[in-house]
Amino acid sequence: MTELIAEDQDLELEREVPQWLRCDVLDGEAREQAMGMMRRLTVNLRNQTTDQADSTMEEPIDNYLDPDVFKSEVDLIFKRIPLPLALSAELPEKNSFKAIEAVGVPVVMTRDAKGVAHAMLNVCRHRGALLCEGRGSARALTCPYHAWSFSMDGGELKGVYGESTFGEFDKSERGLIELPCVEKHGVIFVCLTPGLVMDIDSWLGEWGPQLASLKLDECHVFSSRMMPGPNWKATIEGYLEAYHFAATHPNTVFTVNHGNTMVFDGFGPHERLGFALRTIDDVVDGPEEAWDPSHHVGAIFWTFPGFSIAGGWRQRMTVALCLPTGKVDESITEHRIVVRHAIDETVQHDLEVMRDWFYDVVYNEDYLTQYGVQKGVAATGGHTQVFGRNEIGVQYLHQTINRLIDENYQEGYTKPRVV
């Protein structure tokens, strides 16, 4: 993918950078934090180092393979925490919907006639058929099997086809099963357990302002593709370190990013990473007044358990959500291209190139490698992996998983093994 390099001088920037690429998302406190990340990156570059954990860490391979550990992850984490299942921009209008399968659970999110977001199980209360797929718009959710229809504002059963011949039953007991749902900072969060109280502000904590600073509620979704992968942890690990860039991406990512160089910050269970784009070489020794973190820092905003926003300071970004399927050795990633500018024929080709480039790199280079990891750990069960000090984001992920299982532990579940 072609990287556009901003010139140091304001006049040159005005002349060289197209209007659609300029981004003013970095303002106020967000810009100060971005500049702080860039300062830290320049120090790491000069010293040929990276942010590091206090020590290396061993992770038992059985934690990637054991179906009982996986059940603990699903029941004690994925079915209890707020999952970022949609961007607000994916339900852009009233009476719109998005359907997705999350950890084997079919979910439909709607925006009702008043503009309020809701989430329900995507399951008809007649015979259990899936109501809808993908994204769309409708005044009601109508089952494709027998045409029962449900409201967009919570799933009340509104219509029964052939009701006069169907017979008597309590319609009030046959509405869709609602799921806790909150829309915050341009993201729709859903809890997969009906009735569970979801405190989104507590869950996000200090991460909330970080997410808000990206102004996702002002964005548009250009494309969305689903990408299969191996175990969810093996898949997500690749998003959280720069150590693999040189070996895995020698002709792609490594050409525009320095490898094994990053800055890391943890915010509760969430992570913010900054990779050093090679354009930083042109300004690293220059005055800070000429710095533009959006052009020199590859920022990753990562919301647990697998919601990654790359390029969030730019006009165009990738947004990925990786979740387990119902099987320990499978995951599925929704990979989206999201933009801040209008989408029309003048940018269609460029966005298609960006979409295809990112999909090919992530799947053919990252995910196929991680499928190999899945086979490798299966062949060496009982041993451990070792995470380097320079893989601090990966260490933080596993420490968070262990902590959340401990906090939510219930008798009868299996805890991850710890060295």
Asked if residue 250 is part of any domain, the answer here is yes
Q: Residue 247's pLDDT is what? A: 98
Asked if residue 212 is part of any domain, the answer here is no
Indicate the pTM of the whole model: 0.94
Number of Cβ within 10 Å of residue 313's Cβ equals 22
How far apart (Å, rounded) are the C-alpha atoms in residues 363 and 294?
25
CA angle (291, 18, 21) in 5-degree steps: 65
**Which DSSP helix (H) or strand (E) runs through 356?**
helix 345-360
Asked if residue 74 is part of any domain, the answer here is no
Asked if residue 290 is part of any domain, the answer here is yes
Helix ranges, 186-333 (H)? 200-204, 207-212, 232-237, 245-248, 253-256, 293-296
- Tell me if 278 sits within 8 A of 256, measured CB to CB: yes
Q: Residue 9's pLDDT is what? A: 34
| Interval 153-159 mean pLDDT | 97
Helix, strand and coil content of the chain, in percent to the nearest 5, comes to 35, 25, 40
Q: Which of 102, 115, 135 is nearest to 222 (CA)?
A: 135
| 104 has a pLDDT exceeding 60 | yes
User: Final residue of a domain: which of 197, 232, 252?
Assistant: 197
- Asked if 228 and 357 sit in the same domain, the reply is yes
Asked if residue 208 is part of any domain, the answer here is no
| 7 has a pLDDT exceeding 60 | no
Asked if residue 375 is part of any domain, the answer here is yes
| 13 has a pLDDT exceeding 80 | no
CATH at 335? 3.90.380.10
| 113 has a pLDDT exceeding 70 | yes
| 5 has a pLDDT exceeding 50 | no
More confident residue, 15 or 270: 270
- Asked if 255 and 172 sit in the same domain, the reply is no
Asked if residue 342 is part of any domain, the answer here is yes
| 318 has a pLDDT exceeding 60 | yes
Q: Which domain holds residue 28?
A: 10-67+221-407
pLDDT, tens only, 256-294? 999 999 999 999 999 999 999 999 999 988 899 989 999
User: Final residue of a domain: which of 165, 197, 229?
Assistant: 197
Q: Residue 381's pLDDT is what? A: 80
Q: Residue 371's pLDDT is what? A: 97
Percent of the chain with pLDDT over 90: 91
- Asked if 99 and 232 sit in the same domain, the reply is no
Number of Cβ within 10 Å of residue 144's Cβ equals 11
- Asked if 187 and 280 sit in the same domain, the reply is no
- Asked if 178 and 251 sit in the same domain, the reply is no
- Asked if 394 and 245 sit in the same domain, the reply is yes
- Asked if 249 and 396 sit in the same domain, the reply is yes
Both tokens of 60, joined, read: 């038992």
CATH at 184? 2.102.10.10
Torsion of CA 364, 370, 372, 375, to 10 degrees: -140
- Asked if 403 and 307 sit in the same domain, the reply is yes
- Asked if 30 and 175 sit in the same domain, the reply is no
CA 195 to chain centre: 24
- Asked if 331 and 182 sit in the same domain, the reply is no
Q: Which of 225, 236, 403, 208 is nearest to 306 (CA)?
A: 236
- Asked if 231 and 362 sit in the same domain, the reply is yes
- Asked if 277 and 374 sit in the same domain, the reply is yes
Asked if residue 211 is part of any domain, the answer here is no
Domain count, the chain: 2
Q: Residue 24's pLDDT is what? A: 76
| Interval 128-147 mean pLDDT | 97
Q: Residue 18's pLDDT is what? A: 56
